[in-house]
Structure 1
């Protein structure tokens, strides 16, 4: 009994002020990361505000594209993190550390976004590679946080392990696409590398629907 109750005593229970403070902190970091995206946009010179075409051609267009992509990416990370933490009965020290690691990669996204959206670096394959690795690392870290929470026994509604594996396979489709864009960027150019990310518009829903059906069958069989 001692080995199960001692770690639990260090957990921040869901109804505790510590849980609420940690939950608020996590949300605030995502909001801060979204704000940093706007700070990275460089205002064009006064003469370039003559008309929309000149304004976008000044480099603002690609910066706004990078902002839009990363805004959606960070928003999705926040939504997933919010949903995961909302399903915890408590926060363990290991889960807090795992979540901080995931957040660290999210906070780096404005930096890697600058690489793919600045006029001087957007044509460099390395910029696409750094961005793809950044996003993939954040996904891996967020997935690891979930499995740490499962190991610590703080999930409110744990699924069968086979269902967790199915959901993990679904999650891994995103880093697979991002990491695949790296060799494409080096072989065919950065534009093709960035266009590879659009595959998620098709692959994401297909993989999500497959995972949902598979998990439903596993839960019914269980």
Structure 2
């Protein structure tokens, strides 16, 4: 058996490189799939009265959900890339946690298509769409907490791990709030996701709480 098969006497689990490359490929495919519903309707422009402007108006909800989902998947990928940048090994628990995380990423193009077809007034579509983002954030949090408990898999500084925990918690809270607001005030629709602009402030607040509990000083 090779070291990649997990028989190294000095390190637990498996080398992380192939797994992170696989994860990157899955995310790339998912973000590409977002455009397919729009591509299917582009051919209708020539036969639509009003041409391109009419098409843009008819597909407004799809266009908005596409831009939002592209930005959100990109945000999740950047966070995941940072999380695994100093991970050398992955064990079975990390692999399955990340497989579950990838399921939510692959699901997002489906949820995006649902929101684009249903429009901004469908509460079930909103719950599916934003609820999946809450689950993605929580799975990232679970992975980060597991890594924190298993330092043999990585060389990430403790402070960086705590900041990551703060970011994951912040995202889960803000996505949940955005969902609640969109359900209570249907006219707002998916624009409640503007709350994500507060992520930096909330992340720093949560991180400061965790660092102070651990006796660390943060600026």
Which whole-Å CA distance do the structure 2 matches of 1:214 and 1:181 have between them? 23
User: What is aligned with 2:3?
Assistant: none
Deviations 1:171-201 (A, max 9, x none): 3222222222334333321x41412210221
Gaps of 5+ in 2: 1-6
User: What is aligned with 1:199?
Assistant: 195
Measured at CA, do residues 49 and 143 of structure 1 come closer, stay the same or move farther in structure 2, by a change above 3 Å?
farther
Which whole-Å CA distance do the structure 1 matches of 2:19 and 2:74 have between them? 19
Instruction: Find the residue that maps to 2:57 and give its secondary structure.
Output: helix
Q: TM-score, normalised by structure 1?
A: 0.79
User: Given that residues 62 and 117 in structure 1 are in contact (C-alpha distance below 8 angstroms), is that contact kept between their aligned partners in structure 2?
Assistant: yes
Measured at CA, do residues 150 and 208 of structure 1 come closer, stay the same or move farther in structure 2, by a change above 3 Å?
closer
Instruction: Find the residue that maps to 2:97 and give its secondary structure.
Output: helix
Instruction: Find the residue that maps to 2:82 and give its secondary structure.
Output: helix
User: Given that residues 88 and 154 in structure 2 are in contact (C-alpha distance below 8 angstroms), is that contact kept between their aligned partners in structure 1?
Assistant: yes
Deviations 1:124-183 (A, max 9, x none): 1111111111000011001111112222222313316xx755643443222222222334
User: Given that residues 115 and 122 in structure 1 are in contact (C-alpha distance below 8 angstroms), is that contact kept between their aligned partners in structure 2?
Assistant: no
User: What is aligned with 1:16?
Assistant: none
Equivalences, count: 206
User: What is aligned with 1:188?
Assistant: 185
Q: Tell me if 1:55 matches 2:55.
A: yes
User: What is aligned with 2:29?
Assistant: 32
User: Given that residues 166 and 214 in structure 1 are in contact (C-alpha distance below 8 angstroms), is that contact kept between their aligned partners in structure 2?
Assistant: no
Q: Tell me if 1:64 matches 2:63.
A: yes
User: Given that residues 17 and 88 in structure 2 are in contact (C-alpha distance below 8 angstroms), is that contact kept between their aligned partners in structure 1?
Assistant: no
User: Given that residues 181 and 197 in structure 1 are in contact (C-alpha distance below 8 angstroms), is that contact kept between their aligned partners in structure 2?
Assistant: yes
Which whole-Å CA distance do the structure 2 matches of 1:7 and 1:82 have between them? 27
Which whole-Å CA distance do the structure 2 matches of 1:128 and 1:31 have between them? 24
User: What is aligned with 2:130?
Assistant: 132
Which whole-Å CA distance do the structure 1 matches of 2:29 and 2:175 have between them? 24
Instruction: Find the residue that maps to 1:172 and give its secondary structure.
Output: helix
Gaps of 5+ in 1: 14-18
Measured at CA, do residues 9 and 208 of structure 1 come closer, stay the same or move farther in structure 2, by a change above 3 Å?
closer
